[in-house]
Structure 1
Amino acid sequence: MSKDREKKLLGEERRDWLLNYLKNSSGPVTGTVLARKSNVSRQVIVGDITLLKARNEPIIATSQGYLYMQVGSGIHAEKIIACRHDRSQTEQEMNIIVDHGVTVKDVKVEHPVYGDLTASIMVSTRKDVQAFLKHIHSTNASLLSELTSGMHLHTLSAPDEQMILKAEQALKEAGILVEEN
């Protein structure tokens, strides 16, 4: 397959190609890259991804691009934790988590009008953390936690529960983990 397609892929053929491409990718792929490779606009890709998701394909949109969630990915433990910190501690929080071999799947806040707002993050390494923070900075975007004075939830995933417990302990020591009384 050439780097860029000469022929525009149409409809179902393009969605099949997108699904295959994402399944075989080792990491997230941006809509811009997918659009270039399939010779369509990024908006067409966004629509295609929406249709694939409606078919229950496990595709998530992360800050680094689209990701196909492989079944049996080695994740055996998940836990939702509550954290509170200001914007300046975001890198510290994420690095603590990924340094323990744990993935930050998402962030969730409770908005007074919209209810729960959840955004996929999917960071597993310090490199992922840096890419996420660079994207936040380059777009001048707000963190969801800024809507709730720093209070937010994360879904964490890891190969075993002990890894998550150790990450929680480190977050507690850093004053970031919110504990139940």
Structure 2
Amino acid sequence: MKKKPGDVRREKILEILTTAVNPIKGVELATQTGVSRQIIVGDITLLKAKDIPIVATSQGYILLPEQSDQPHFVKQIACHHGPADSKEELYTLVDAGVTVMDVTVEHPVYGEINASIMVSNRVEVDDFIREVEQSGASFLSELTGGIHLHKIAANKEQSIHIAIKEMRRKGFLAEDVY
């Protein structure tokens, strides 16, 4: 049976994401597959619905790797600071060897709002901050007076402990404020 054009295109998107070293913007996927960015957004949604671990970050789409045999440690931390300290907060975390996976805030009307960040080094932090600034967007933490959660991940538990220690030392942990 002949495959439908959408199925072929989604296979191509997966192929591109699988071989990509860096995140791929939706516009780039659209160009490579000959469709609009809006079609790509729909394709990504359909792929996610099939439990394919694609994450949309500020740098573009990434396909999460298969779980490795190495231990992988994940922790959620509560943070508190103003928007001017966002870059320093993210630097503190990535310098400790963790990946900042996401940010979550508890909105009084909308409930929990979560967004992927996926930064692991200073270059990715700089790209993320630049994108926020250039778009004129606000940090989610601005909706909650600076209170927010980050899910952080590392291959070594020690990296998580170092990140928390440094966040505490710099006064970024919410548990130390309230």
How far apart are the structure 1 equivalents of 2:109 and 2:74? 28
Deviations 1:20-59 (A, max 9, x none): 1111111210000000111111001001000000111000
- Match in the other structure for 2:106: 110
Query: Given residue 14 of structure 1, which amino acid in structure 2 is its aligned partner?
Result: R
Assess if the C-alpha contact under 8 Å between 1:100 and 1:164 holds in 2: yes
Match of 2:16 among 17, 21, 25: 21
Q: Which consecutive residues of structure 2, in runs of 5 or more, have no partner in the other structure?
A: none
How far apart are the structure 2 equivalents of 1:48 and 1:135? 24
How far apart are the structure 2 equivalents of 1:117 and 1:41? 27
- Match in the other structure for 2:38: 43
- Match in the other structure for 2:55: 60
How far apart are the structure 2 equivalents of 1:139 and 1:10? 34
Match of 1:147 among 137, 143, 149: 143
Pairwise mapping of residues 1-181 of structure 1 onto structure 2 (< 5 A)?
10-72=5-67, 76-179=72-175
How far apart are the structure 2 equivalents of 1:75 and 1:149? 35
Query: Given residue 125 of structure 1, which amino acid in structure 2 is its aligned partner?
Result: N
How far apart are the structure 1 equivalents of 2:105 and 2:67? 28
SS of the aligned residue for 2:153 comes to strand
> Structure 1 75/101 Cα, relative in aligned 2: closer, same or farther at 3 Å?
farther
SS of the aligned residue for 1:56 comes to coil
Shift of 1:174: 0.5
How far apart are the structure 1 equivalents of 2:136 and 2:164? 29
Shift of 1:10: 2.7
How far apart are the structure 2 equivalents of 1:174 and 1:10? 53
TM-score by length of 2: 0.94
How far apart are the structure 1 equivalents of 2:88 and 2:6? 44
TM-score by length of 1: 0.92
- Once superposed, what is the RMSD of the aligned Cα atoms? 1.4
How far apart are the structure 2 equivalents of 1:75 and 1:156? 14
How far apart are the structure 1 equivalents of 2:93 and 2:118? 12
Assess if the C-alpha contact under 8 Å between 1:75 and 1:157 holds in 2: no
Shift of 1:75: 6.0
SS of the aligned residue for 1:70 comes to coil
**% of aligned pairs identical?**
47
How far apart are the structure 1 equivalents of 2:65 and 2:31? 24
- Which ranges of 4 or more aligned residues in structure 1 deviate by more than 3 Å? none
